[in-house]
Amino acid sequence: MSCQLFLERRARFLVLIGGLFASAATAFAAPANILPFGMETWKELGQSPSRPMVVVFSTTDCGHCPAVIDSLAQEIRKSRSKIRLAVVVMDGAGQEKALLADRHYRDANLLYAFDGDAMALRFKVNPGWRGLTPYVALIPASGAPRFHTGAPPPDVVRAFLRP
């Protein structure tokens, strides 16, 4: 009986330690700062050696954006891929402290705020984009990005995340 009790206690302890490490890993993955998204940033992301990546353009008042960010982050985690998630907050300049405290941005590998004229920056990303959010860009390892207003269809996301 005491051997079984010892094993149960050991198992509980290991589960507790594993949970602590998992929560710490999530905290460490959160962006430490907010980067400026300027006129050359989109080009830099497209030429980044860390392609493929998912980029979500959001605003602080967007009602649908948090769910889309959370859903994409969860799908990326489930896929166990090395695909990175970047979030660009179009109206985030000057709100760095609030953005870093917002739990919806913690799963992002990179966090940006528009730095410059929003209309010109949107046009630079995609001339057809009219500013609706969430606006999601799936940037493949090679080739042109695919854009989605709102959440991309689940089958598109799964296909994108497949190695």
DSSP sequence for 20-42: HHHHHHHHHHS-SS-EEE-TTHH
State which residues of the chain have pLDDT below 70. 1-30
What pLDDT is attached to residue 8? Answer: 59
Sign of the dihedral defined by the CA atoms of residues 108, 135, 52, 78, in that order = positive
Q: Give the pLDDT confidence score for residue 48 in this predicted structure.
A: 82
At 77, which amino acid appears?
R
What is the structure's pLDDT at 23? 41
Q: What's the pLDDT score for residue 9?
A: 59
Q: What is the reported pLDDT for 50? A: 75
List pLDDT tens digits, range 79-108: 998 899 999 999 999 998 999 999 999 999
